[in-house]
Structure 1
Amino acid sequence: GDKIGVTGTSFGSFFGTILTANEPRIAATAVSATCLEPGCHTIFEEASPTFKKRFMWMSNFTDEAKFDEFVKTLTWEGHAEKIFKPYLVVAGEADELSPLEYTERMIATMTGPRQLVVYADSRHSVGNVPSANLGPFPPTLVADWLLARLNGKPMKSERWYVDPTGRINKTSI
């Protein structure tokens, strides 16, 4: 049969995660530039107000109080635990829109094959820092990882920390 792979960037990391948890036909998922903070407080209350305004417009909200209630429902909790297919998340250590601690917490709740790749000093966009310039190039890493999973190649559940020299420090998760 056909193999379905999912990629998601920024808010696509959230929606791709929810999709993967609820769609059994998906064979593997790779997300990056994460938006995985339950309730999205940082992106909507601490970052530029344009993020909130755009998301309100895209989700057809004009009442900010109602939107604030709605975003409390935006969480991987109760979903990510249902992901048993290979899952990759590529994140910046200094993500200013979705703090890394929430991605790490999500990965810790999952029990399927998973990999977290963290780029030293990188912000939300994951790149333009020595770790991304000297280590694995993030978009290529995502594409190669997804191809390998769709081709049935096994993987280890690991956390990779790409340091500023480009060296990958691997630990089991």
Structure 2
Amino acid sequence: MAYPSDQRSSGRGTVRFVMVLVGLFLVVYMVRPPRLRPSSKAVGSCPPCFCDCEEESMLSLPLDILNSSLADCGKDDPQMNEEMKKDIATLLSEELNLQKNVTNDVLDRTKVLIMSAKRASSHYQKESEKCNIGIDTCEGGREKAQAALIEERKLSALWETRAIEFGWKD
């Protein structure tokens, strides 16, 4: 063992202590009264803010955020009231249905794209086969033309030889 067990436990304890201090600092920073916060009065270009927020509602804000619902959020909107009254199982069920719909839409689009790619691939494969047939035809024609050229050269050489024999001069 490279380290004795005392050093490991003291290291863990130190990390825990530091994490607790950071947590306490964050809680105090969020909950402290607004008068202790830096004032925006020093900025002359900003007009004064008129808020009808109560001190108690500002202190309860972090708890409401943790509960994922604000006390007065959407109280005048009937659709929002209906949504806020739903229990967690209904909300999760709706979320799953929405995810399922999105997944099905993506799957359908993927299937369409795959079919389109298959059609394009088939088209290009047919074009490639046509091209290969054309190349084979051209290659056969070239070979025939080359054989005919060789025969023509042989025949020309024969006629030239006969012409030279009969006294033809170049």
What is the TM-score when the length of structure 1 is the normalising length? 0.17
More contact order relative to length (CA 8 Å, sep ≥ 6): 1
Larger radius of gyration: 2
Larger helix proportion of the pair: 2
